[in-house]
Structure 1
Amino acid sequence: MKKHKPTIAAIANEANVSPATVSRVINHRNLVNESTIQQVEDAMLRLGIAVNEKKKINNEKKVILFSRETGNTTFYDQICKGILKSTQANGYHLIVNYDSINRGNIGDFIMLLKRANVSGLILSSFLSEDLLDALNAVVPIVQCCEFNENSSIPYVSIDDYNASRQATRYLITSGRNKIAFINGPQNQHYAKERLRGFLDTIYEDGISIPSSWIAHVPSIDYNLAYTIICQILNSDIRPNAFFAVSDILAAAAINACNRFHLRVPEDVMVMGFDNVDICTMIRPSITTVSQPKFQLGYTASEILIDLLHNSNT
């Protein structure tokens, strides 16, 4: 009978450490203390793996693919950095895909996963349950930031609803009672939850606003948002605050206010979301809700790698 070579998971079990630690010993010894290195190498020897065979295990280095949205580039760059930190520490290669996944190209995307020998997938876009199931039949998946709550596939995200409530409450306690809401694509989970948090909060305070003050931008696009916000400001009744679900949209609101000679924040307050670099590049700087972008990406990768290791045990 052919004897199977022990897996990383088997080495981890023998050494009483995590599979990630074994991977670090093999690929990034500088990240591990000497006692742990010795513990892992002793376990390898007990399993019949010569320490000089580490190179062979290293050749089994696998690939994780991150499928990211094309809009809000700075935000997803930080997500990607978190994923990269985790994949490098655990001995995985990272591939980044910029194409949106939909029913029209799902077959081509699955072919890409197979040809690139992808071991696991991190998704940052909302997909229907059937598309998620089709992908999950090929590779393990973790959803990051955007997710389908009706799917059993694990996800990492923030509480968009409560974050939106806190931001709206800040505007109200600052004396603003005419607040316009600049939202993203309506099919996105974050857009639905942030709008719900906004509406629940203003209703609690008895604040009513014109329906035209709730604007849905089809994508996180500065120019589209700028045009929409100018239309809102070019009316007899103007808002005294804007709550935008992205800092990119908030920047458009500030510049639109400048066009109409409105002072920010004296005449119109502007609240953004994400805390990306543009917040400090524009004047005045954007008051925003900070997302733990790097940590979201890092955690999503760690969960996926744990799934991959457990599937090999």
Structure 2
Amino acid sequence: MTRAAALRLGAFAGALALAFAAAFAIGAAVEPIAAAKPEASMEGHGGGHSESGGQLPGLAVSDAGYTFAPQTTFYQAGAKTALRFTIQGPDGKPVTQYQQTHEKDLHLIVVRRDLSGFHHVHPTRDAGGTWSIPFTFTAGGTWRLYADFKPAGLDRTLTLGTDVNVSGLYIPVPLSEPSSNYSFHGYDVTLAGSPVAGKETELTFTVSRGGKPVTDLQPYLGAFGHLVSLRSGDLAYLHNHPAEEATAGMKGGPSITFGTTFPTAGTYSLFLDFQHAGAVHTAEFTVRVGSEGTTIVPPATVTPEHEETPHGHS
């Protein structure tokens, strides 16, 4: 080996060592998420889902022999495409038989990994077990897909998660600061509650419009509200529904109460779906969950109206 080659190799090794050192320093500076305890369930009233074997929902692509298999993991931002996938069963074949949960065979949640661009949609399934839905990823980046379903013959609901890559302009969107109020399109939604890590807590959302309580919320998927909570960092998934069921013709509101258990301390993004005047709306909240005695949700304050973040419901 020539001296010049040796010097180049030494420089490369030195640069690589510096890169690893920088990566370690950055990782150490990031606020850690407390390790999940197997007994800390992401379960709640009205249809919350618990983990299997200590694994929190949404973190694994496979569970109980079932695997979430997208047709492709590469997409282009801004281009309408068909989002296709199968759920492969223990026999390796696409699952074609499901038990309905909340009026659907499968719920699909799509969100970018910075927790922007939340969508809760319902694809259709063909006879061969392939699910599909027209979909447009609004921006570049890594997006997380969650399939929430209950296969025929299984006694529990599964939530499987996987990432897809979307090419295009990527501008990270920071999480909003914790607030008990979210305003958009004339609606004001307030959140009350003080969740404590590892303990069941009640969260109450109150909906008003134009300064008046909304008392005619409409049933949506068998309830007056749906709540998805995602833990910042690893995006562990928690899906709850209120204890009160809702059928056609019923009216609800202005309050929707959920019983839920956040498994660990950390920062969570909460996405509340509700239906009013024939349209489904989504309110978003950031909540910091701490240990017992910590006040989590700040007092209600008047906040400027949010521009509607792209959401999808179908």
Q: Larger % of helix: which?
A: 1
- Indicate whether the TM-score tops 0.5: no
TM-score normalized by structure 2?
0.22
Q: Larger % of strand: which?
A: 2
TM-score normalized by structure 1?
0.22
Larger Rg: 1
